Amino acid sequence: MDFFNNKGFTLLEMIITMFLIIVIVGLSSVFFVSRQPSEELKRSVRDIVTTVRYARSLARTVGEVTVINIDIDNKKFGIEGKGDRPLPDKSTINITDPVNGITSNGIYRIEFYPSGLSGFAQIKIESGDSKFTIILDPVIGAYVSN
């Protein structure tokens, strides 16, 4: 019986392997946690653009004015009477239009008419290093720029 020719792992090999796994998991979790606010902001921007497109379509289908309310102070938005969706807590929102200038507090209303037209506005959303501008064109709808 040869006691030292066992074909298992030594305790030192197990400790080194566990250490490497912990380091890899730790580094990857830091990467994903640091990207989370940026991804949350991107999701909110996509939600706003989708809501704008839906409101325009709804106004044309129903034949009535459809309104989107953006509550800058409480960081939420939605189609009037259909419920609100949240925006990221640490984000800042500024809305610029030719009539009212820059709006950075209160509730901003965007009206969509049965003809498919709406007002013109730029919605700027920032959170940390991420900045997005949603441009509402009265004719073609909404698009996003960085």
- What is the overall mean pLDDT for the chain? 85
Q: What is the pLDDT of residues 72-99, one digit of tens each?
A: 999 999 999 888 999 888 888 999 988 8
30 vs 101 pLDDT, higher one? 101
List Cβ neighbours of 14 (8 Å cut-off, separation of 6 or more): none
Report yes or no: 46 and 59 within 8 Å, Cβ to Cβ: no
Q: Taking the domain 38-145, which CATH number applies?
A: 3.55.40.10
Domain positions in the chain are 38-145
Q: What is the pLDDT of residue 36?
A: 64
84 vs 32 pLDDT, higher one? 84
Q: What is the pLDDT of residue 32?
A: 63
- Partners of residue 71 on adjacent β-strands: 76, 107
pLDDT of 40 higher than 90: no
pLDDT of 3 higher than 60: no
The pairing of strands 101-103 and 92-97 is: antiparallel
pLDDT of 144 higher than 70: no
Q: What is the pLDDT of residues 58-71, one digit of tens each?
A: 999 999 999 999 99
pLDDT band at 119 (very low <50, low <70, confident <90, very high): confident
- The sign of the CA dihedral 71, 106, 121, 140 is positive
